[in-house]
Chain A
């Protein structure tokens, strides 16, 4: 079964530091996403990415966040200057197509702890 791979599984960083979360989506998928889940809360949409550009982003995805797909396989989420409230599980997801019948395949997540 194809899967979405995320690294690292855990990341501890000091407030104000930059972090890069990495994802390898399923190889023939075209649509890529980042979601986050603060402990005890629901999964929240951050950003969607298609054809090497952002297609949608939420209010959470401010100027501190950026995404890129540098080499055609990796999909990264960068947080420039982390804040305590950025502590959460970050999930990468991919989809084969954008139609309503297509489900999302999520990775196992990166647990980010900002201290």
Chain B
């Protein structure tokens, strides 16, 4: 199982500001998935990036997969209080011979957007 490091661990910003959170590993992943988790709830999938250098946009959220498929970033433009939550990155790695994948989570970035 490979490690995913997320930074920053905590982020508190004012409404309207931009922010970027990072997800880094020394290992190559088949894909990188970003989830958002509310307290007491399960992770909810935001996006999956598969190709190195891939950029996906989801309204004010921009996700990028590093060229080497080892890292990813999430950029939020003009943050809103509704963006408050725990953002998790998760790397999908394959098991050779088994044809199956395992999803490994980072510890998350806890974002707080202050009105």
Contacts and interface: CB of A to CB of B under 8 A. Distances in A.
A41 B86 CA distance: 12
A75 to B, nearest CB: 14
B42 A106 contact: yes
Contacts of B94: 100
Interface string B81-108: 0000000101010110011111111111
A100 B98 contact: no
B112 interface: no
A93 B30 CA distance: 19
Given A91-B43, A104-B45, A108-B42, A55 B98 contact: yes
Contacts of A58: 1
6 contacts: A4-B42, A42-B107, A48-B102, A56-B102, A104-B43, A106-B43
Given A43-B88, A45-B103, 4 more contacts: A42-B107, A48-B102, A106-B42, A109-B40
Interface of B: 1, 30-31, 33, 35, 40-45, 48, 50, 88, 90, 92, 94-95, 98-108
Query: 9 closest Cβ contacts across the A-B interface?
Result: A106-B42, A100-B30, A100-B31, A103-B45, A43-B105, A55-B100, A42-B107, A91-B42, A42-B105
